[in-house]
Structures are given as C-alpha cells and as structure tokens.
Amino acid sequence: MGFSSQECNETVNPEVVESSEMEAAESVIEETETEALIRQLAQKTQEAQEIHDRWLRLAAEMENFKRRQEKERADLRQFANESLIKELLPIVDNLELAINHGRQQEPGSALQEGVENVLKGFLAALTKFGVTPIQALGDKFDPTFHNAVMQQEDDSVEDQTIIQELQKGYLLHNRLLRPAMVVVARHSQS
C-alpha cells in the first residue's frame, strides 16, 4: 500500500508544517528571551542589593562620624581651659607654700588669714571648672597619678606607700592634669 505523491501532498499541508515550525521557533525564541530576562532581572536584583548594602554602610559610617564629632566637641568644651589651668597651678603651689611658711612664722596673723582666703577662693574657682586635687599622702604609689622623686627607707608603713607629698597633683574632669610629686617608702634590705 503505497501512497502516491499526489496523496501525500494532499495529506500534508505545507502551510500547516511551516506554521508549526514557526510556532516552535517562536516558542524557543520566547523561552530564550524569558531566560535572558530572568538572568537580567537576577543581575539587576544583585546590583540593587549591593547598592543597598553600600548605602547602609555609608549611613552607618556617617552616624559614627557624627558621634565622633560630637565627642570631640564635648572634649574640646570640657578640656578647653586645660593649658590655662596648668599655668595657674604654680600660683596655687606658691599660695600653699606661703601659708605653710606663715604658720611657722606668725600663726594666726591677718596676712596669713588673707592668703588662706585667697587660696580657698582660687581652689573654689578651679573646682567649678572640674579641677580636683589628687589625694596622695598615705596611699599606695600609682605611677598613673604619682611622680616619685625620692624613695626613703621606712619600715613603719607598707612598702611603696607615699609618705610625703612635695607637690600636689590635679585632675581635670578625671583626666590627669599634673601628677603629684611624692616621696615613696621603701623597706630596708635587712
């Protein structure tokens, strides 16, 4: 049973074959375009995520920068008078020396009382600006706050105890302004 060429031509319509091939080709093209669009969308989504992450980092850096600037401004306000106060501390030292000398020469004199009042006023003004003296006498030596200028043998106190204060130390808002110059006890080597 063979088909004649005329019967074959009649059963297969070339327009239908051509149309289905075109539909298949269009379908393949559509799938390829869809895949390309999906890849492009994934790439753009990744780029957008990277830009978003970069923006978040920059925003965090900007916030940190603002905090640092605010801290620096606060420190500047708090410690702006530091050099002036350092220049005034020798005056306090001299007033204390004058008072100690006056107590030895003429205890209770009007001049001594006047100098004591000046010193009290001076110290009150310094306290207003955050200056506090370092208490050293009788404390354990701490190189952070004390400057040992001498050691003296003394077995009556614990080793490395401050037994004499030669010059007061001061803090400015809990930051060392000037260390205390002290004499430190040392146990004898017996």
The continuous run of DSSP H or E covering 121 comes out as: helix 110-128
What is the model's pTM? Answer: 0.61
Q: Does residue 68 sit in the same domain as residue 86?
A: no
> Within 13 Å of residue 172, how many CA atoms lie on the same side as its CB?
19
The amino acid sitting at 68 is R
Last residue of a domain, one of 36, 55, 78: 78
Rounded (5°) CA angle 176-183-152: 155
CATH (domain of 155): 2.30.22.10
Per-residue pLDDT tens over the stretch 92-120: 999 999 998 888 887 778 888 899 999 99
Q: How many domains does the chain have?
A: 3
Per-residue pLDDT tens over the stretch 118-169: 999 999 999 999 999 998 998 999 999 999 999 988 888 888 999 999 999 9
